[in-house]
Amino acid sequence: MHLFFKAKLLRNLVAYAKSFSQHVSYTFHCGSICKTAYTGAAATEIGGDTTCREFQLMSKKAFASPRDLENYADLRMVIVDEVSFLDYDRDLSRLSEYLQMYTQEQSFPFGAAPIVFLGDF
């Protein structure tokens, strides 16, 4: 996806989320949408962090810490760029497992957080 188009798409998506939040009386803030990408360069381009670092995918966790619960308490959407780099077993399944812990929504994939995947499919 062309970088300019992707950046514009993300700006519009965030603007829509902010507008929608105002209409439903939800306070939108920087933790409402989590923007990540597989590589650091791509994460920087979209104003986010690497997917592995943001969700601590390289560590083995059995439970969410109080800090994790606080960090993701207001999470409303996750954007993952460069999805083609992610391995299902190693990355996506662990992302789903960790989001279930962080959001305390064990019965839904990805903790019931809407996921936007970008990149080559």
Rounded Cα–Cα distance for residues 102 and 109 (Å): 12
Rounded Cα–Cα distance for residues 116 and 35 (Å): 9
Helix (H) or strand (E) holding 49: strand 49-50
Check residue 14 and give its pLDDT: 83
Concatenate the DSSP letters of all residues of 70-84 into one string. Answer: HHTTT--EEEEE-GG
Check residue 2 and give its pLDDT: 59
Q: Which of 39, 100, 95 is nearest to 64 (CA)?
A: 100
Q: pTM for this structure?
A: 0.84
Check residue 15 and give its pLDDT: 86
Check residue 4 and give its pLDDT: 66
Give the residues across from 77 on adjacent strands.
Answer: 33
Check residue 18 and give its pLDDT: 83
Ranges of the chain with pLDDT below 50:
none
